[in-house]
Structure 1
Amino acid sequence: MSLPRTARRFRGSAIGTLVVLLAAVLSACGSGGASTSDGAATLKWATSAFPAHWDPVVSGSGAQFRALALAYASLTRTDEQGKAVPDLAESWNYNDAGDVVTFHLRAGLKFSDGQPVDGTAVKAAVERAKTQKNSALFGDLTSIKSVTASGPDVVVVLTQPDHQIPQLLGERVLQIASPKAAQDPGKLDQNPVGAGPFIVSQLVPGTKAVFKKNPDYWDAKNIHIDSVELTSAPDASTVVSGLRTGVYNFADIRPSQADEAKKAGLDVFVQPGFNASNISINVNKPPFTNDKVVDAVRYAVNRQEFVDKLTFGYGTGTDQPFPEGYIAYDPQSKNRYPYDPAKSRQLLADAGYRPGDIKLDLVIPAAQPDAEIVQSQLAAVGITVDIKVNKNWATPFFAKDLTFSLYGTTGRDSALQTLTAHFGPDGPLNLSTPYEPAGFEDAVAKVRRTPLDAPDYQQNLQAATRAGLQSKALVFTYSAPNLFAKSSSISALAKNPAHLDWTGVTINGH
């Protein structure tokens, strides 16, 4: 920052005054501490996942749910162990059969429009998520048969025993909007009305949202942030410089930016999660109707190359839809298809293909380096891959019209939901629908019948993973955590898997 020319004329005691003034200006411009002149604590968050939709039913459960959680609360939330804990619901209980669960809401709760948060509101939220035409959540709620409300209680009747429901109905899948506001879904989509820790005061679609603290939030006493300025990150390459100068004090970053952020004196928050990337295969289309071709792709994959080139030391290879060490990761299935390009070439030869015979279009939504790695690794075994970028990729992918693609999932709070999404006959991430591996349905049903605190829960869950991994529709490659950079003025965040929890977080000690 340069001084105006007139300032240079000051001498003597005026210089001291100028130095003090300049120090104050520099502090305001670049400290990264976001306290305003009145002492209010402001979170200035730049995100690459700025929501296109603020109606949680439409937005779905992708990465943008973290931003929507500023305005919305859910029946449950996730703790540092990844378990469901109370949020709007202070407790819940199952019947003996495990096919009915009753949630008991906290008393006296209100949405930001003054409407009560009661059983009727929760019932409306579930039914809207199941039936609204543009809902992205209906597939997550298929095990819910009906919902009845009685004052602060919500009774959820299931189509089968399912002890996963408290995990499922958290802030990824059931962020609850005011039923009054939801009567006009289009308006709600650009003006969120929930019962979360913050209330939106300004929203510029696709660009910026400003929030103020919600005094009626059930845990308001432990929310120490007064306001939030959420901004769509204009360019990932400029985020660290924006953090350094105090334009932002919190942002999601890429692994390639972590060292730069640390050198700039920023804290890098490594958020644990369930992220996993995969190669998606459609076994209903040639050449993948031949099992030997599928296996050839499996053996052609060098997971360590993905880790080395894409994660900058923050990721790990994985051959499952979870990182190793997660409760649902199955040790018995580890490394079933190790990197073996010679075996891959032999399988292709056994299937009757010469090098260069197989030509595949790899359809993806945008240019991405993992596509080039796949292209290179398959070329090494004689498969030619042509990368096709289609910004409307989601339409043919979810319609199961593609033959070959890539996908990266942020996982789910319910590990079983992650499995059914990938391997189930109607799973949105199963490019080979309605195909599913033999024995998977039975293994899933057994997990549903098992309470989460039962001694055999992990054993049954890993058995379901093992059954799912018989699928020929997916080849998993690597897992990487979510990374955020923040000013040191922001206190430590809880390491809740995949979630940002602002409870107890302070800015500049406020």
Structure 2
Amino acid sequence: MRRRSLKAAVPAAGAALLLVSTLSGCGGDGASAAGGDSTLKWTSTYFPTHWDPVVGGSGAQFRELSMVYASLTRTDEKGDAVPDLAKSWDYNKRGDRITFHLRPGQKFSDGEPVDGAAVKAAIERAKKQKNSALFGDLTSIESVRAKGLDAIVDLNQVDYQIPQLLGQRVLQIASPKAARSPAKLDQQPVGAGPFTVTQLIPGTKAVLKKNPKYWDAKNIHIDQVELTSAPDASTVVSGLQTGVYNFADIEPSQADAAKKAGLDVFVQPGFNASNISLNVNKKPFDNDKVVDAVRHAINRQEFVDKLTFGYGQETDQPFPKGYTAYDPTSANAYPYDPAKSKKLLAQAGYKAGDIKLDLVIPEEQPDAEIVQSQLAKVGIKVDIKIDKNWATPFFAKDLTFSLYATTGRDSAAQTLTAHFGPDGPLNLSTPYEPKGFKDAIAKVRETRIDDPDYQKVLQAATRAGLHSKALVFTYSQPNLIAKSKTVSGLPKNPAHIDWTGVTIKPGA
């Protein structure tokens, strides 16, 4: 879940205590970074609720956690996996084993070595820790062996997606020593990324400093970071103008004001897509005609017009149009047609007003009101219910009807299985799986990414997944960042914020 809904998905642990922790093993004295010659002052709408990457790395927060935790790979501007902690990797001939070769001499900020054993511990913890948000993404991994600086990953199927999968989104690697106490790690993060946390006020503020032990520290030119949880959205632009902040993720509604204020608005490419989630295991969505009625009742363009302020586009797939996995042949399979929607409901035995649904969401959000209005036009009554603990019933698959928006995944196969797989975290209808999807996604995994037929195979899997009755996709929009002109341009890596080479003018 991105932006507003992410903050409500999981309560900020200990936020009410406003406990300031001076973190052991990270260095520094916890002093404010204000006044530093190269200080990034970032205010964020998705300030981490958890600093344990196994728990908090699944949503938009992975961008902030990536300042502290490095991964085996990272993503370049093409969306391809490139080396990070691992300098290289290779598959065996069958494609069911991959060996990652780590860079020598790397250390976590607590002095522990970054080696094969650390990778093994990170993967096993992500698979087994009770509160892991990542276990569903690692189903291809059978076991991991450590051999010095090598991590040998044995798979239970051929899967050429692993280098893209084990990047910043799914495998941010913590010190195994620190991770022995996950609860402590959650508030005292210890990684091998470009920065270390020196001060943390849970849910409110974190102060970080450059990590000289990071393997690419020579290309990190920011000395300190002040990361704060964004106040009311209406004050962010004025805070940027006055220098309280010099970097902020913003909503499309703020972009015009930011530009008029003389700020740079960075349009970061991404894989974002929003959807309406249905549970086909519960009435009335156990009736296919009702599902199709909802599909035809949705006017995607209204979401774009009212919510994205010119930055978004409608999509009926878990990807924006133009992305490699987007299947053009499946486009507009269920066009907006309220008359057809009413007819389908009648065929299912429902008169106007018979169907009454609770739309459960974590907080007030305008897309819920659009859904409510559009379904009312075809005779379906929707009551919007706010549940701040919405994440628990959603991921337990106890809800009948909800909304979700994702930041996408670096591995397209991971995005597809998250939505359409029988154990997919975004499949509200678990264990339901559309017919043909299992075989189609297996073929994707078996196809090398550099194979000339890869895109064709990938789009076929998208096509199979879209037979799902559990999801109705609505719109996509990029990530928007407003920044002071004192902050240099950012690499256009899709969905990721890469601090490599970024500079801040002295005194900013």
- TM-score, structure 1 length as denominator? 0.92
In the alignment, what sits opposite 1:18? Answer: none
In the alignment, what sits opposite 1:365? Answer: 362
Amino acid at match of 1:504: G
Q: Say whether 1:402 aligns with 2:406.
A: no
What runs of 5+ residues in structure 1 fail to find an aligned partner? 1-33
In the alignment, what sits opposite 2:163? Answer: 166
Q: CA deviation at 1:128?
A: 1.0
Give the alignment partner of residue 47 of structure 2, picking from 45, 50, 56: 50
Q: In the aligned structure 2, how far is the partner of 1:268 from the partner of 1:507?
A: 16
Q: CA deviation at 1:115?
A: 1.0
In the alignment, what sits opposite 2:377? Answer: 380
Q: Secondary structure at the match of 1:46?
A: strand
Q: Secondary structure at the match of 2:485?
A: coil
Q: For residues 42-191 of structure 1, what are the structure 2 equivalents within 5 Å? A: 42-191=39-188
Q: For residues 337-356 of structure 1, what are the structure 2 equivalents within 5 Å? A: 337-356=334-353
In the alignment, what sits opposite 1:447? Answer: 444
Q: In the aligned structure 1, how far is the partner of 2:111 from the partner of 2:149?
A: 16
User: 2:33, 2:225 within 8 Å by CA — same for their partners in 1?
Assistant: no
User: 1:35, 1:41 within 8 Å by CA — same for their partners in 2?
Assistant: no
User: 1:438, 1:467 within 8 Å by CA — same for their partners in 2?
Assistant: yes
Give the alignment partner of residue 201 of structure 1, picking from 198, 202, 216: 198
User: 1:35, 1:508 within 8 Å by CA — same for their partners in 2?
Assistant: no
Q: In the aligned structure 1, how far is the partner of 2:227 from the partner of 2:348?
A: 54
User: 1:60, 1:135 within 8 Å by CA — same for their partners in 2?
Assistant: no
What runs of 5+ residues in structure 2 fail to find an aligned partner? 1-31
Q: In the aligned structure 1, how far is the partner of 2:50 from the partner of 2:350?
A: 47
In the alignment, what sits opposite 1:11? Answer: none
Q: Secondary structure at the match of 2:266?
A: strand
Larger radius of gyration: 1
Q: For residues 296-311 of structure 1, what are the structure 2 equivalents within 5 Å? A: 296-311=293-308
Q: Secondary structure at the match of 1:489?
A: coil
In the alignment, what sits opposite 1:475? Answer: 472
Q: CA deviation at 1:270?
A: 0.7
User: 1:35, 1:507 within 8 Å by CA — same for their partners in 2?
Assistant: no
Q: Percent identity?
A: 79
Q: CA deviation at 1:154?
A: 0.7
In the alignment, what sits opposite 2:434? Answer: 437
Give the alignment partner of residue 220 of structure 2, picking from 215, 218, 223: 223
User: 2:33, 2:226 within 8 Å by CA — same for their partners in 1?
Assistant: no
Q: CA deviation at 1:36?
A: 6.9
Q: In the aligned structure 2, how far is the partner of 1:350 from the partner of 1:174?
A: 48
| Paired positions, count | 476
Deviations 1:201-228 (A, max 9, x none): 1111111111111111111111111111
User: 1:318, 1:479 within 8 Å by CA — same for their partners in 2?
Assistant: yes
Deviations 1:25-78 (A, max 9, x none): xxxxxxxxx99766x210000011111111111113101111111111000000
Q: CA deviation at 1:509?
A: 6.9
In the alignment, what sits opposite 2:29? Answer: none
Q: CA deviation at 1:253?
A: 0.6
Q: In the aligned structure 2, how far is the partner of 1:65 from the partner of 1:427?
A: 19
| Gap change, CA 1:64 and 1:37, over 3 Å in 2 | closer
Q: Secondary structure at the match of 1:374?
A: helix
User: 1:101, 1:156 within 8 Å by CA — same for their partners in 2?
Assistant: yes
| Gap change, CA 1:36 and 1:475, over 3 Å in 2 | closer
In the alignment, what sits opposite 1:287? Answer: 284
- TM-score, structure 2 length as denominator? 0.92
Q: In the aligned structure 1, how far is the partner of 2:362 from the partner of 2:75?
A: 31
In the alignment, what sits opposite 1:416? Answer: 413
Aligned residues: CA RMSD: 1.3
